[in-house]
A and B are shown apart, each in its own frame.
Chain A
Amino acid sequence: MTSPSRGNTVIYTGLLVAAVLTVAPFALSLLTSVTSAQQFATGTPLSLPSPPTLSNYTALGDAGFGRALVVTALMTAIITLGQLTFSVLAAYAFARLEFPGRDGLFWVYVATLMVPGTVTVVPLYLMMAEMGLRNTFWALVLPFLFGSPYAIFLLREYFRAIPADLLNAAKLDGANTLDVIVHVVLPASKPILATLTLITVVSQWNSFMWPLVITSGGRWRVLTVATAGLQSQYNAQWTLVMAATTVAIVPLVVLFAMFQRHIVRSIVVTGLK
């Protein structure tokens, strides 16, 4: 039997190497973002900033990143709220109610999972333009607000697994549907809800193509679009560009760090059952 500690060393080495590969780019980006532009231009790109400066970040503020942050946060919050609420309702209906056309409709929902986002961009742009909603906050939010087939799909599985006794007992106690959902279904589904919240928040915060197409100018610019715009405007002014990527990345990482144990565990738990 090979000594467990040797096997462990191998594993730790592997884990460590992977960790360095994962974190190094971010660390480099952070370092560069606090380097002054002059130092970067005259010194070697990898030299430590001396002294570190926040000038790149203030420049970002001038470039409208503060507002982009707010817009992105708002958009993410509203979409997450809407999507989760309506998905829960729909998933409950599919999982626990009986009505004609239920299963057929569910498969229609699942079929739409196959529609790639790229395919719907142009017609959605057309629709929004026709309705005069181009470059408005609502255009950013509407296509995603009303529930997500992916979430409905996952939730339905989860809801189906909730023991019927729990639900029946609640109904016998005089609970109506809303009560059942709030007091029985939701508490029993915490892991999946946490997972879905994370997935929704991440995917909306990072959304790029749709905001790129449907907004323009500074008013409703989101972080991703602002970063891309900065990159093209200040091409090769790397200190500034790295500050932008840091601003785009840090909020989510912080959020993640705060909830990571819970979240990671829930992905692991719900992963595949």
Chain B
Amino acid sequence: MTQVNSRRIRSTLLGYGLLAPSLFGVVCFLLLPMLVVVWLSLHRWDLLGPIHYVGLANWRSVLTDPSFGNSLLVTCAFIAIVVPTQIVLGLAAAAMLARELPGTGVFRALYVIPWICSPLAVAVLWRWILAPTDGAVSTLLGRRIEWLTDPGLALPVVSAVTVWTNVGYVALFFLAGILAIPPQIHAAARIDGADSWQRFWRITMPMLRPTFFFVSVTGVVSAAQVFDTVYALTGGGPAGRTDLVAHSIYAEAFGAAAIGRAAVMALVLFVILVGVTIVQHLYFRRRISYDLT
């Protein structure tokens, strides 16, 4: 008996010992800040003066603020444009790469490069390319298009830059999924007379469901946090057209110095993301026959 007990104690000590650093990190730098954010949301602070308690005033102020509503809407629109587009393009690229024609390796590596680069640097780069005066595109076209200040164009442009950055990376995951499909299945289907389109829709696509799930969950979560791109490209855009939530939280905290309100916004973002992830999880759960985790 005591032998088992002492073994169990040792195992527990060992387990927690190994966990200690990461536990410290998670508690200090993830859980504790969450609590602090909740606390901050009930206070008013402009960084320079004292912090005072204001109860739910910030919540009321943020939830009725039209510019926050605008921010959420813009973020939703952004996600709705970016995630499906990068999935479709990523899938197309993966399908082409999966043929494994000679030279594919080079292409595969090239496509990932935008993702490797810092979104900040990428945004600054595109800022020049799209600059109406002295920009690459303007010079090529010979005419001036206000890519970043036209209210109709700004959000599509920011979305396009984000998609451009992510497609290669997304394609890799689809490529993995496609290559993981046992070739026997395709072979059997071919024998049965299915052509490549049919094989694609009836075999490949369904078997890619885990990939779709992964890519759309991570896509949504990361699209909801895009900041660098907005900071460098539009600063929130013409009349808030590209004021993505992460950017408006930053602007509220460090530009307008309203920390309490920024905390409220951050919490709202968190709740929405959790909700969206749960919904996606539930949607895909019934449809995946593979154990993803």
Give chain B residues whose Cβ lies under 8 Å from the Cβ of A223: 118, 121
**Residue pair B176, A268 in contact (C-beta under 8 Å):** yes
B99 interfacial contact with A, CB 8 Å: yes
Give chain B residues whose Cβ lies under 8 Å from the Cβ of A98: 8, 11, 15
The segment out of B53-61, B80-88, B144-152, B227-235 that lies at the interface is B227-235
**Residue pair A29, B180 in contact (C-beta under 8 Å):** no
Give chain A residues whose Cβ lies under 8 Å from the Cβ of B26: 108-109, 112, 146-147, 149
CB distance from A228 to the nearest CB of B (A): 6
Given known A120-B30, A120-B37, A238-B134, contact A86–B25 (CB-CB < 8 A): yes
Given known A89-B19, A121-B253, A227-B124, contact A271–B11 (CB-CB < 8 A): no
A182 interfacial contact with B, CB 8 Å: no
**Residue pair B113, A26 in contact (C-beta under 8 Å):** yes
Report how far A250 CA is from B55 CA in the complex, Å: 49
B48 interfacial contact with A, CB 8 Å: no
Most buried by B among A28, A126, A227, A271: A271
B210 interfacial contact with A, CB 8 Å: yes
**Residue pair B40, A122 in contact (C-beta under 8 Å):** yes
Interface residues of A in 76-99 (CB under 8 A from B): 86-87, 89-90, 92-94, 97-99
Give chain A residues whose Cβ lies under 8 Å from the Cβ of B249: 118, 121
B69 interfacial contact with A, CB 8 Å: no
Given known A152-B22, A264-B109, contact A11–B15 (CB-CB < 8 A): no
A135 interfacial contact with B, CB 8 Å: no
B119 interfacial contact with A, CB 8 Å: yes
The segment out of A48-56, A165-173, A201-209 that lies at the interface is A201-209
Give chain A residues whose Cβ lies under 8 Å from the Cβ of B22: 86-87, 89-90, 109, 146-147, 149, 152
In the complex formed, the residue of A with least CB distance to B13 is A99
**Residue pair B131, A122 in contact (C-beta under 8 Å):** no
**Residue pair A264, B231 in contact (C-beta under 8 Å):** no
A73 interfacial contact with B, CB 8 Å: no
Report how far A45 CA is from B131 CA in the complex, Å: 11
Report how far A147 CA is from B21 CA in the complex, Å: 7
Give chain B residues whose Cβ lies under 8 Å from the Cβ of A23: 110, 113
Most buried by B among A11, A89, A123, A257: A123
Most buried by A among B108, B214, B263: B108
Give chain A residues whose Cβ lies under 8 Å from the Cβ of B63: none
Give chain B residues whose Cβ lies under 8 Å from the Cβ of A115: 30, 34, 270
Given known A236-B131, A249-B117, A268-B179, contact A142–B29 (CB-CB < 8 A): yes
CB distance from A202 to the nearest CB of B (A): 6
Report how far A142 CA is from B127 CA in the complex, Å: 33
Given known A98-B15, A114-B273, contact A227–B120 (CB-CB < 8 A): yes
Report how far A121 CA is from B172 CA in the complex, Å: 31
**Residue pair A119, B107 in contact (C-beta under 8 Å):** no
**Residue pair B263, A122 in contact (C-beta under 8 Å):** yes
**Residue pair A231, B232 in contact (C-beta under 8 Å):** yes
Report how far A236 CA is from B29 CA in the complex, Å: 38
Report how far A123 CA is from B93 CA in the complex, Å: 41
A189 interfacial contact with B, CB 8 Å: no
Give chain A residues whose Cβ lies under 8 Å from the Cβ of B92: 14
CB distance from A72 to the nearest CB of B (A): 10
Give chain A residues whose Cβ lies under 8 Å from the Cβ of B16: 93, 99
Produce 1/0 per residue, A17-45, CB < 8 A to B: 01101110110110010000000100011
In the complex formed, the residue of A with least CB distance to B293 is A157
**Residue pair A208, B270 in contact (C-beta under 8 Å):** no
Give chain B residues whose Cβ lies under 8 Å from the Cβ of A177: 14, 18
**Residue pair A22, B225 in contact (C-beta under 8 Å):** no
Give chain B residues whose Cβ lies under 8 Å from the Cβ of A99: 8, 11-12, 14-16
Given known A22-B114, A118-B250, contact A231–B109 (CB-CB < 8 A): no
B31 interfacial contact with A, CB 8 Å: yes
In the complex formed, the residue of B with least CB distance to A157 is B293
**Residue pair B125, A29 in contact (C-beta under 8 Å):** yes
A6 interfacial contact with B, CB 8 Å: no
A253 interfacial contact with B, CB 8 Å: yes
**Residue pair A253, B177 in contact (C-beta under 8 Å):** no
Interface residues of A in 236-266 (CB under 8 A from B): 236, 238, 241-242, 244-245, 248-249, 252-253, 256-257, 260-261, 264
**Closest 7 pairs (CB-CB, A-B):** A146-B25, A271-B176, A147-B22, A206-B118, A123-B36, A99-B15, A123-B33
